[in-house]
Amino acid sequence: MINKVIYAGRIATDLKLGKTKNDKSFIFFNIAVDRKHHDKTDFINCIAWNKVAENLVKYQSKGNFIIVEGSTETYVDKNNNNNSRCLVENITYTQSNKNEDNKENDIISTVEHDSNYSKDDLMTDDDLPF
């Protein structure tokens, strides 16, 4: 079975890093994803851990366009409601932080991840189908 999602959208919340009791970094955030051929936007709940979370807070801000790759997790909240969120594994930054060099629309070929990939494993612009 496969549980894989990819979302492309804008960061819809302020980014604030949290720490667990065991000193693991995490961040809860939402991304706004437009529906194709519809006049609607979905707000996707996401959670990222460790270096992915730390780098997101360090290099990005609310309003920036990112591509999130991960899996869907369902859970029951404190009010006994069923919810889902994206467990983020990789984030591709498509623009630099608004405070850096005013290059808001430049493509950055950086993938943040927690795994041990080599530079050769990262996607480049040549890999895109368009």
| Domain containing residue 79: CATH number | 2.40.50.140
90 domain-assigned: yes
Confidence of residue 78 (pLDDT cuts 50, 70, 90): very high
- In tens, the pLDDT along 34-57 reads 998 888 999 999 999 999 999 999
pTM of the predicted model as reported, rounded to 2 decimal places: 0.72
Domain count, the chain: 1
Q: Which amino acid is at 76?
A: V
Q: Rounded to the nearest 5 degrees, what angle is found at the Cα of 12, between the Cα atoms of 7 and 13?
A: 125
20: in domain: yes
11, part of any domain: yes
- Give residue 56's domain range: 5-108
